Amino acid sequence: MKTVLITGCSSGFGHETAQYFLERGWKVIATMRTPKDDIFPRHQNLRVLALDVTKEESIRKVIAEAGPIDALVNNAGIGLLNALEGVTVESIRDVFETNTIGTIAMTQAVIPQFRAKKSGVVVNVTSTVTLKPLHLLAVYTASKAAVNAFTESVALELEPFNVRMRIVLPGLAPSTKFAENAFAKMLPVPEAYMPTFEAVRAGLSAAGSPVTNARDVAEAVFVAVTEPSSPMKIPAGSDAVILAKTVGMA
Ligand SMILES: NC(=O)c1ccc[n+]([C@@H]2O[C@H](COP(=O)([O-])OP(=O)(O)OC[C@H]3O[C@@H](n4cnc5c(N)ncnc54)[C@H](OP(=O)(O)O)[C@@H]3O)[C@@H](O)[C@H]2O)c1
C-alpha cells in the first residue's frame, strides 16, 4: 500500500484530495496547522499530523513522524488580493513563505528518501493565474509562478533518480475557504484602485461561468501522482482546461 503526504488538509482541495486517495486504497498523511478530530471521519489508513510549512522545525518533525512516503502533495497556500500599493512587505513575505518557500522546503525534505529508493513523486498545486495576468494578484501570481519555474527546473536534476515532479493548476474555486481566508486578512484597497477592485469582485461572483471544484483538483493530483506519462502541467477544473487550451498549454 502506497503513502501520500498532503499539506493544507484542513479544508478545500487538500481535504478533498486526502479523501480521494483514501477511497483509492492509499495510506494518507493529512497535514494541517491545527489538527482537529472532526475534520475527517475516522479511517484506518488516515493519519492527521501537524504541519506549518513556514516552520523548519515543524517540517523536520512531520517528516520524522510520517516515516517513508511515496508521494508528496504541496497544496497548502494563501491568497493575496490587492493592488501592490495596498499590501505590506510583511504580507508579501507571508505569501512567499507559505506558497513558495514552504513548497520548496517540503520538496527538499522528502528528496533524500525518494532519491535513495529511486522512486517518488512531488505534486505542486499552483494556479491558472500563472497562465494569464490578472488584476490585483501580482504578488500571489509571482509566488505561484516561482513554484512552476522551481518545479520544472528541479525535475531535471531528479530525473536520473526516477523522482518525478508535477504541477497541478486549478482554476477559480469559489467553494473552498481560499477567498474567505484571503479576504479576512485583506487590507483596504487604495481609493485609486477601487474601480478595478469592484470590477474584479463582480467578475468573481459572476453566475454561470465555469469554475473549478475541489474534486477536479483531487482527480488531477491523483493522475499526476499515479501516471508517469502525465504531462508536467495539469490544469484542474473546467475553467482551467479552457484557459490552458486558449494559451496553447493543453
Ligand atoms: N480556491 C481557489 O480559487 C484556488 C485556485 C487556484 C489555486 N489555489 C491553490 O490551491 C491550494 C489550496 O487552496 P484551497 O482553495 O483549498 O484553499 P483553502 O480552503 O483556504 O485551503 C488552504 C489550506 O492551506 C493551509 N495553510 C495555509 N497556510 C499554511 C501553512 N503555513 N502551513 C500549512 N498549511 C497552511 C490552510 O490551513 P489552515 O487551516 O491552517 O489555515 C488550508 O488547509 C492553495 O495553494 C491555493 O493557492 C486555489
235 lines ligand 1 (CB under 6 A): no
Would you call 247 helix, strand, or coil by DSSP? coil
**Residue 109 carries which DSSP code?**
H
Catalytic residue annotation = 140
185 lines ligand 1 (CB under 6 A): no
pTM: 0.98
Take residue 186 and report the three cell numbers written for it: 485583506
Q: Which amino acid is at 116?
A: A
| pLDDT at residue 26 is higher than 80 | yes
Longest dimension (CA), the chain: 56
178 lines ligand 1 (CB under 6 A): yes
Could you please report the per-residue DSSP string of 184-247?
HTPPPPPGGGHHHHHHHHHHHT-TT-----HHHHHHHHHHHHH-TTS-SEEEESHHHHHHHHHT
Best of 15, 54, 75 to mutate for ligand 1, by most ligand atoms within 8 A of CB? 75
240 lines ligand 1 (CB under 6 A): no
Helices and strands (H, E) in the chain, number of each type? 9, 7
Tell how far the Cα of 162 is from the centroid of ligand 1, in angstroms. 29
Q: What's the pLDDT tens digit per position in 27-83?
A: 999 999 999 989 999 999 999 999 999 999 999 999 999 999 999 999 999 999 999
Q: What's the pLDDT tens digit per position in 76-121?
A: 999 999 999 999 999 999 999 999 999 999 999 999 999 999 999 9
Distance in angstroms (rounded) separating the CA atoms of residues 36 and 49: 10
β-strand pairing of 46-50 with 120-125: unpaired
* Per-residue pLDDT at 206: 79
* Per-residue pLDDT at 227: 98
Distance in angstroms (rounded) separating the CA atoms of residues 42 and 31: 15
Tell how far the Cα of 172 is from the centroid of ligand 1, in angstroms. 13
Q: Which amino acid is at 33?
A: R
Would you call 169 helix, strand, or coil by DSSP? strand
74 lines ligand 1 (CB under 6 A): no
134: domain range? 3-246
Distance in angstroms (rounded) separating the CA atoms of residues 85 and 144: 20
Would you call 80 helix, strand, or coil by DSSP? coil
With contact defined as beta carbons under 8 Å apart, do 110 and 72 qualify? yes
Take residue 56 and report the three cell numbers written for it: 523548519
Question: Closest ligand 1 atom, CA of 170?
Answer: 6
| pLDDT at residue 208 is higher than 90 | no
Take residue 171 and report the three cell numbers written for it: 482554476
Q: What's the pLDDT tens digit per position in 142-177?
A: 999 999 999 999 999 999 999 999 999 999 999 999
Distance in angstroms (rounded) separating the CA atoms of residues 199 and 176: 21
For the chain, the domain total comes to 1
Q: What's 213's domain CATH number?
A: 3.40.50.720
| pLDDT at residue 183 is higher than 90 | no
Tell how far the Cα of 95 is from the centroid of ligand 1, in angstroms. 11
